[in-house]
Amino acid sequence: MSKPLKRIHLAAHFPGVNNTTVWSDPEAGSHIDFGSFTHFAQTAERAKFDFLFLAEGLRLREQGGKIYDLDVVGRPDTFTVLAALAAVTERLGLTGTINSTFNEPYEVARQFASLDHLSGGRAAWNVVTSWDAFTGENFRRGGFLPKEERYSRAEEFLATANELLDSWHGDEIVADQATGTFLRDAKAGSFVHTGQHFDIHGRFNVPRSPQGRPVIFQAGDSDEGREFAAAGADAIFSRHTTLEAGQAFYTDVKRRLAAYGRRPEELLVLPAATFVLGDTDAEAEELAREVRRRQVSGATALKHLEFVWNRDLSSYDPEGPLPGIDPYVGGPHIAEGRAQVRMYRDPLATAREWRELAAANNWSIRDLVINTGNRQTFVGSPTTVARDIDHFVQSDASDGFILVPHITPGGLDAFADKVVPLLQEQGVFRSEYEGPTLRHQLGLAHPDDARGEWQAAS
Amino acid sequence: MSSAPLAPLHLAVALDGTGWHPASWREPAARPQELFTAGYWAGLVTEAERGLLDFVTIEDGLGPQSSHPFEPDDRTDQVRGRLDAVQTAARVAPLTRHIGLVPTAVVTHTEPFHLSKAIATLDHVSNGRAGLRVRITARPDEAAHFGRRTIPRVGAYDSPAAREVVGGLFDEAADHVEVVRRLWDSWEDDAEIRDVATGRFVDRGKLHHIDFEGRYFSVRGPSVTPRPPQGQPVVTALAHGTLPYRLVARQADIGYVTPHDTGQARAIVAEIRAEQEAAGRAGQPLHVFADLVVFLDDAPGAAAARRERLDALAGGPYPSDARVFTGTPAGLADLLQEWRAAGLTGYRLRPAVLGHDLPAITRSLVPELQRRGVFRRAYEAGTLRGLLGLARPANRYAA
């Protein structure tokens, strides 16, 4: 059976505060200066990527009670950077991670509506949740939110924001200078929402934006996260970058859509992926090993081991064997503001497994972290990387990738110049943008289509 | 007038919708259909930059505009709706090079942590041209948009009930700005060290928890965003009475005030300077700008005729808090020079019709002031603080 080739979706994740970033490279520039963002975004747009993606953090990471200083620290405000990038790009989607715990729907809805207006319809929202008191210490809301309520608040937050965004239909502004009618409807923007987390009413004050609502993305691998995405997201970010795990995830989340009356193509699966390019596969493999060693210094390896051991391991030699003592289970975690610690749900089992792995391979602590951590997803010549990406997508392990280079801001340049043309030649990636808005690039319907109020072309 | 040479006059313009007169959108130059596009705002700010103005402010609010101070109206004959001002400022930043960008932010229902990093980032994306105009809201309907607190309806600004409600909101605003400012300082300028030898990206000794504990907030810090290029972006506030004068004196770099004559201007400046002394900031630079709504036309009588036409369309005279100047650019230049004797250091002009009165400011008033030797002929500094003659502040946490 030959089925039509799927079109690949590609996005660019501005490298941030994690140890995939090789900030010590002489090519590494500022992760704060706007020039870096401009270069990165314009490269992504030159390559006809769907969108640029910004992560968010609302508290600097701490480990052992001290600010974590081994990775890049600090980042700018999401909305402000995206609005500025709208001035130096024309078609690239602008996706921001915004937390639903430490914000209010009225404020976030008007920020996304504003970004959508100011970018001509290119705004997207990666909805994330948080409950931890550590982050809450920076906000007047504090850390009050019980963990089990985070998705219920997120769901109601998103629904409420959508109600606000839908409170204008798009035809209210008449602005007839002759008759003096500015608004057709005196009650434009009226809303009432009564729920478990929000009890608000009044008038929303941003008219309907080009996309109606921002495109909605969701990250999260838990059962609740998958369900949340199936219910209301346009794309889900995942971590699954092996073919089998990707296919299993893909099948699972696409299957969940039917329960919400949605078709499989209404939710895109976009894993985050890294890459290392060389002129030949062998050269790329060697470069990848070198990059990996630079990503995981001895000090970084010890800090990573602390995620599992949950105790200070700074006295250990990273080039030596794994600690003989067991992880400390229970009590507050030594690493705060870290999502990774949640990956190790049974620290004692992980420690046993790692000791066995290290013994079998004669690995030091650093070797173990290098070999078990987030290894590069795509390594090879441009031909190999283009082939592997295409294979992954055509095999229904994803609909595309969010690429995270390890260098800021030039880490995307070679991919744009060497890999994208190959994908375009194969007819699996666009040569021209499909239309003015991000919904056009993603092949998503406008929310007003059901009402017959929106014309796809403009 | 004093014979001592005066410091250069500072000039800002306040952007709001199609202009400050509620019927401004009906003028041919108004372009009301483009209000929610980036191009509209880029056009206004580049025009202001053409006139070498110190900065623009951009109005904002957390509810629809209203002709009533404390509640929404149901009018359909005036501009309603607006975009987030911080994002509008950020959107135009890469398209301009010199002019300061001062968005309005309501501090009553928002988080100082978010606002601090947003304005710091505006400063980063504009290479040191960011400011902030803080405002409170006492509108019960806007409180209902957030649902976290109720604000009782107050009948008039000067009632005792209003003073209590508004007084609390101004105290909260002062704390809000204090948190914002501490977060800007929570990174020392040289905290990022990228020390390859030790593998440390930052010197964590130069990152500071701010540990603010007050009646309204407790914020731990540090910011997630490094210290902005200006160190402290320029904080501004509009003030109509003792409570906001106190906020200006305690926390601002510029206060906008609304005198109607030189005598009032002198009294307001004196009150703010006294509050400044009481707050222990006597020696520190603090600009006091007068706000003026302006109708400008070169032909005598044309501005007044335009104002009458717009008032007729609006159904009555425009009830402005600020003095409304109606006349020629030369006449306005006279007034600006005359009022300076009261101790004002600059002006924020509110164009009645942006499409008409903004170019009148940049193309007629500014050349007139330049001929008189009281306004710049070229941008003389790279940052907004530089344009305003404000030094880059030392970091309060640096050893």
Query: Each residue of A202-236: pLDDT tens digit?
Result: 999 999 999 999 999 998 788 888 998 999 899 99
Question: Of A449, A445, A425, A429, whose CA–CA distance to A437 is shortest?
Answer: A445
Range B41-79 burial, b when 16+ CB lie within 10 A, else e: bbbbbebbbebbbbbbbbbbbbbbbbeeebebeebbbbb
Distance of CA A269 to the CA centre of its chain: 12
The pLDDT score that the predictor gives to residue B158 is 75
CA-based nearest distance B34→chain A, Å: 10
User: What is the percentage of chain A residues whose pLDDT exceeds 90?
Assistant: 81
Give phi and psi for A390, each to the nearest 5: -60, -45
Question: Of A366, A391, A127, whose CA–CA distance to A241 is shortest?
Answer: A391
B218·A120 Cβ contact <8 A: no
Q: Does A179 touch chain B (CB under 8 A)?
A: no
Residues 351-380 of B with CB under 8 A from A: none
Q: Which residues of B touch A58 (CB under 8 A)?
A: 113, 224
Q: Does B32 touch chain A (CB under 8 A)?
A: yes
* CA–CA distance, B252 with B231 (Å, rounded to integer): 15
A202·B141 Cβ contact <8 A: yes
Mutation target to probe the A interface, by most A beta carbons within 10 A, among B33, B36, B183 is B36
Residue numbers in chain B where pLDDT is lower than 70: 1-6
Mutation target to probe the B interface, by most B beta carbons within 10 A, among A56, A138, A184, A194 is A138
CA-based nearest distance A427→chain B, Å: 34
Q: Does A199 touch chain B (CB under 8 A)?
A: yes
Q: Which residues of B touch A203 (CB under 8 A)?
A: 63-64, 72, 141, 145
Question: Of A121, A152, A151, whose CA–CA distance to A437 is shortest?
Answer: A121
B224·A74 Cβ contact <8 A: yes
* CA–CA distance, A85 with A14 (Å, rounded to integer): 12
Q: Does A185 touch chain B (CB under 8 A)?
A: yes
The pLDDT score that the predictor gives to residue A147 is 73
> CA nearest B150 in A: which residue?
A200
Give phi and psi for A93, each to the nearest 5: -65, 150
Residue of A33, A72, A107 with shortest CB distance to B124 = A33
B111·A206 Cβ contact <8 A: no
Range A72-100 burial, b when 16+ CB lie within 10 A, else e: bbbbbbbbbbbbbbbbbbebbbbbbbbbb
> What are the distances in angstroms from CA A143 to CA A97, A101, A129, A443?
20, 9, 12, 39
Stated as kind and residue range, the H or E segment containing B290 is strand B287-296
Residue of A67, A77, A205 with shortest CB distance to B118 = A77
Centre a 10 Å sphere on the Cβ of residue B18 and count the other Cβ atoms it contains.
30
The pLDDT score that the predictor gives to residue A221 is 83
Q: Does A40 touch chain B (CB under 8 A)?
A: no
Q: How confident is the model over A270-296, as a mean pLDDT? A: 96
Q: Does A203 touch chain B (CB under 8 A)?
A: yes
Q: Please, which residues have CB within 8 angstroms of residue B158's CB and are 6 or more apart in sequence?
A: none
Q: Which residues of A touch B315 (CB under 8 A)?
A: none
Q: Does A455 touch chain B (CB under 8 A)?
A: no
Q: Does B125 touch chain A (CB under 8 A)?
A: yes
Contact A1, A391 (CB under 8 A): no
> What pLDDT band is residue A418 in, cutting at 50, 70 and 90?
very high
Stated as kind and residue range, the H or E segment containing B337 is helix B329-339
Mutation target to probe the A interface, by most A beta carbons within 10 A, among B121, B150, B179 is B121
> What pLDDT band is residue A399 in, cutting at 50, 70 and 90?
very high
Give A379-383's long-range contacts (Cβ < 8 A, gap of 24+): A379/A275, A379/A276, A379/A281, A379/A284, A379/A285, A379/A288, A380/A277, A380/A278, A380/A281, A380/A284, A380/A285, A381/A277, A381/A278, A381/A279, A381/A280, A381/A281, A381/A283, A381/A284, A382/A277, A382/A414, A382/A418, A382/A419, A382/A422, A383/A422
Q: Does B31 touch chain A (CB under 8 A)?
A: no
Q: Does B218 touch chain A (CB under 8 A)?
A: yes
> At CA A401, angle to CA B201 and CA A226, rounded to 5?
95
* CA–CA distance, B322 with B331 (Å, rounded to integer): 17
Contact A252, A226 (CB under 8 A): yes
A297·B222 Cβ contact <8 A: no
Residues 117-176 of A with CB under 8 A from B: 117-120, 137-142, 168, 173, 175
Query: What tokens does A158 get?
Result: 């998103």
Q: Does A76 touch chain B (CB under 8 A)?
A: yes
Which residues of A participate in the annotated binding site for FMN? 97, 151, 222
The pLDDT score that the predictor gives to residue A1 is 55
The CATH number of domain B10-184+230-387, selected from 3.50.50.60, 3.30.420.40, 3.40.50.2000, 3.20.20.30: 3.20.20.30
> What pLDDT band is residue A451 in, cutting at 50, 70 and 90?
very low
Residue pLDDT, tens place only, B36-47: 999 999 999 999
Q: Please, which residues have CB within 8 angstroms of residue B292's CB and are 6 or more apart in sequence?
A: B322, B323, B324, B325, B332, B335, B347, B348, B349, B350
Residue B375 is given by DSSP the state S
Q: Does B348 touch chain A (CB under 8 A)?
A: no
B60 carries a ligand binding annotation: yes
What is the dihedral sign for C-alpha B225, B231, B233, B235?
positive
* CA–CA distance, B300 with B48 (Å, rounded to integer): 24
Query: What is the residue-wise DSSP string for B192-255?
Result: EEEETTTTEEE-GGGB----EE-SS-EE----SSPPPTTSSPEEEEEE-SHHHHHHHHHH-SEE
Residue ranges and CATH numbers for the domains of chain A are 9-281+376-456 (3.20.20.30), 297-372 (no CATH)
Query: What tokens does A438 get?
Result: 């991000």
Range A265-293 burial, b when 16+ CB lie within 10 A, else e: ebbbbbbbbbbbbbeeeeebeebbeebbe
Q: Scanning the structure block, which residue is given the tokens 């309005």? A: B104
CA-based nearest distance A310→chain B, Å: 21
pTM (2 d.p.) = 0.96
- Is residue B48 classed as helix, strand or coil in its secondary structure? helix
Whether A331 has a pLDDT exceeding 80, the answer reads no
Contact B151, B165 (CB under 8 A): yes
Whether A456 has a pLDDT exceeding 50, the answer reads no
Q: Does A186 touch chain B (CB under 8 A)?
A: yes
B147·A75 Cβ contact <8 A: no
> What are the distances in angstroms from CA B63 to CA A80, A175, B106, B109?
21, 20, 11, 12
> What pLDDT band is residue A239 in, cutting at 50, 70 and 90?
confident
Give A185-192's long-range contacts (Cβ < 8 A, gap of 24+): A185/B76, A186/B74, A186/B75, A186/B76, A187/B74, A188/B80, A188/B81, A189/B64, A189/B81, A191/A163, A191/A164, A191/A167
Residue of A60, A70, A79 with shortest CB distance to B87 = A79
CA-based nearest distance B39→chain A, Å: 8
The pLDDT score that the predictor gives to residue A458 is 36
Q: Does B80 touch chain A (CB under 8 A)?
A: yes
Q: Which residues of B touch A106 (CB under 8 A)?
A: 62, 109, 145-146
Q: Which residues of B touch A76 (CB under 8 A)?
A: 117, 120-121, 124-125, 225
Show the 3-state SS of chain A. Answer: CCCCCCCCEEEEECCCCCCCCCCCCCCCCCCCCHHHHHHHHHHHHHCCCCEEEECCCCCCCEECCEECCCCCCCCCCHHHHHHHHCCCCCCCEEEEEEECCCCCHHHHHHHHHHHHHHCCCCEEEEEECCCCHHHHCCCCCCCCCCHHHHHHHHHHHHHHHHHHHCCCCCCCEEEECCCCEEECCCCCCEEEEECCCCEEEEECCCCCECCECCEEEEECCCHHHHHHHHHHCCEEEECCCCHHHHHHHHHHHHHHHHHHCCCHHHCEEEEEECEEECCCHHHHHHHHHHHHHHHCCHHHHHHHHHHHHCCCCCCCCCCCCCCCCCCCCCCCCCEECCCHHHHCCCHHHHHHHHHHHHHHHCCCHHHHHHHHCCCCCEEECHHHHHHHHHHHHHCCCCCEEEECCCCCCHHHHHHHHHHHHHHHHCCCCCCCCCCCCHHHHHCCCCCCHHHCCCCCCC
Q: Which residues of B touch A111 (CB under 8 A)?
A: 84, 87
Residue of B113, B202, B221 with shortest CB distance to A69 = B202
Whether A309 has a pLDDT exceeding 60, the answer reads yes
Q: Does A65 touch chain B (CB under 8 A)?
A: no
Question: Of B132, B150, B138, whose CA–CA distance to B234 is shortest?
Answer: B132
B147·A198 Cβ contact <8 A: yes
Residue of B64, B111, B226 with shortest CB distance to A140 = B111
B111·A180 Cβ contact <8 A: no
The pLDDT score that the predictor gives to residue B76 is 96
Contact B12, B289 (CB under 8 A): yes
B87·A139 Cβ contact <8 A: no
Based on the number of CB atoms within 10 Å of its own CB, is A109 exposed (0-12), middle (13-18) or buried (19 or more)? buried
> CA nearest B315 in A: which residue?
A180
